[in-house]
Chain A
Amino acid sequence: MSKVLIIAEHDGANLNGSTARAVTCAQGIGADSVDVAVFASDGSAVAGQVAALSGVSTVLQIDNAANEQAVAAILAPQVQALASDYSHVLVPSTTFGKDLAPRVAALLGVPQISDIMRVESATVFDRPIYAGNAVTTVEAPAGIVVGTVRTASFSAADAGGSATVEKREVSAELPSHTRFVKLETSGGGDRPDLQAAAKVVSGGRGVGSEENFKVIYDFADKLGAGVGASRAAVDAGFIPNDHQVGQTGKIIAPELYIAFGISGAIQHLAGIKDAGTIVAVNKDPDAPIFEVADFGLVADLFEVIPELEKALG
């Protein structure tokens, strides 16, 4: 009998879309129940959003001033306290989940399974290794299964649920050795979130400068797309780090991915393997990105983008 506990990711007001994907993963386990814990200072709003996801059994709302910010060292002992009632603890494989899950697993004395991409059974999972260039099928040992869910591999659970929300007190000793100082966001404005966007337009080193990236942003806005980037573009300071796509950036699965001036290093491709359609525009006919692109165009991006904009009207 499987009972799954998912830790919700949110920013205090809004549930992050990755949580709904973890719910779908949990359903693949054939769980008898899927509970979702919301740790916050006041989690009412977020708990309401979780309750509306279909497939959720109970939402556990753990309000505590210490949970105002998601700090792994503070959340982990609380998750540990809840975990004994469950067979599985799942967290989305985002920076939030990657930070938290191993700490929880170590407190529980169990290994952790990273980036679950497929559920074979309640204890057997597929996960990528070597930047997605190989896939291993792994079996968790006896005990609680702690895993992170590769969000690009699962669709989001639908709305239409009506789970009950239970307020919970968790008794756990919380450390004071780790203090949140600040979060600087790049402020994407109204642009769709990279990980949720149906379309993503990305730029690489070939874009050439921070000023030139305006061309990418403007074209993305025209398509209603999110904006991504290669590591080289981020390292060069063309665009903030939270836009990086790839092995060490965000793993995304939009319907349409358009790469401008990106060569297609394996570490970049690791982030876009699940995209529906990949378009690549690159001056170099031998760029490896063309090996994965559904539609490749050998051309200068600065000539292509104005033409595309014109064609789209």
Chain B
Amino acid sequence: MKILVGVKRVVDYNVRIQVNPDGSGVATNGVKMSMNPFDEIAVEEALRLKEAGKAEEVIAVTIGPKASQEQLRTALAMGADRAIHVETDEEIQPLTGARILKALTDKESPKIVMLGKQAIDDDNNQTAQMLAALSNWPQATFASKVEVEGDVANVTREVDAGLETLAVDLPAVISADLRLNEPRYVKLPDIMKAKRKPIETVTLADLAVEQAAAVKVLKTSAPAQREAGIKVESVDELVAALKEKGLI
């Protein structure tokens, strides 16, 4: 079976975000970009399923501008077999992203689509659920453990109440949470080898996907800042301060 993995290019999670003063968005010029951390986990899980003999092929997919190929190269260096670049310079929101992934799943017929639970730029946490809805497939979101047995995946999910397990018939969409695994480090020879792996480039038009109605971003602003507080010198001083505020 095949596994399709979503890989999004996002501002690296270590970068301190600067909001453009004119409200037009977040500064991305010259900012370090990386694979969305949840997608690294998704790629790793797909590779582990392959290494365990549960899958034959891992295909990494990105939707985005030309530069997103860097993230596909990372996925290939990790061990993905091939990659598909849906090239577009337009902003792609989750519903359109899900339509694109649906078009690709129709073409590739993977048994599992493995995505991150959220992209850490827009923090939407929607694409996996939307793709599952459009395909009328099961969804197992926020996965912290995936066990594939034949045509069923038992997925443990991190939910507010604890850990939930769902049994889903394949094909299914699974979204990765942080504790699913620890992604491997990419070694230099793997990066060299990955250069020879194929990346297929397609457009929205090739896939016959139209942009869905989108949410319009009117402005972007800096969040309200908390007032800087004070350092207290002792436990007594802390207790006095909290008592004064009526908190203890």
Q: Decide yes or no whether B29 CB sits under 8 A from chain A.
A: no
Q: Is the CB of B26 within 8 A of A131?
A: no
Specify the chain A residue showing the minimal Cβ separation from B220: A136
Binary contact track B214-248/A, C-beta < 8 Å → 1, others 0: 11111111110011111111111011011001011
Q: Is the CB of A107 within 8 A of B223?
A: no
Point out the residue from B93, B95, B144, B166 that lies within 8 Å of A181, measured CB to CB: B166
Q: Decide yes or no whether A304 CB sits under 8 A from chain B.
A: yes
A183 to B179, CA, bound (A): 17
Residues of A near B165 (CB, < 8 A) are: 180-184
Q: Which of A103-161 contact B (CB under 8 A)?
A: 103-107, 109-115, 124, 128-143
A111 to B92, CA, bound (A): 12
Q: Decide yes or no whether A21 CB sits under 8 A from chain B.
A: no
Count the A residues whose beta carbon is within 8 Å of the partner chain — how many?
Answer: 89
Contact flag A130-B121 (CB < 8 Å), given A136-B220, A311-B236 = yes
Contact flag A102-B129 (CB < 8 Å), given A95-B142, A131-B120, A307-B235 = yes
CB of B147, distance to nearest CB on chain A (Å):
11
Residues of A near B159 (CB, < 8 A) are: 95-96, 183, 242
Q: Is the CB of A304 within 8 A of B141?
A: no
Beyond contacts A130-B123, A138-B217: 7 other A-B pairs, Cβ-Cβ < 8 A, are A96-B160, A102-B130, A110-B95, A139-B216, A241-B163, A242-B159, A248-B117
A-B contact pairs, 21 of them (CB 8 A): A102-B126, A110-B213, A112-B124, A128-B223, A135-B223, A136-B221, A139-B218, A143-B213, A177-B138, A178-B167, A181-B154, A185-B162, A186-B162, A195-B160, A231-B178, A235-B179, A295-B232, A297-B238, A307-B235, A308-B238, A312-B239
Chain B residues within CB distance 8 Å of chain A: 11, 13, 16-17, 19, 26, 93-95, 98, 117-118, 120-134, 136-142, 144, 154, 157-169, 172, 177-179, 212-223, 226-236, 238-239, 241-242, 245, 247-248
Chain A residues within CB distance 8 Å of chain B: 11, 71-73, 76, 94-96, 98-107, 109-115, 124, 128-143, 175, 177-186, 195, 199, 223, 231, 234-235, 240-242, 247-248, 250, 255-256, 266-267, 273, 276-279, 290-299, 304, 307-308, 311-312
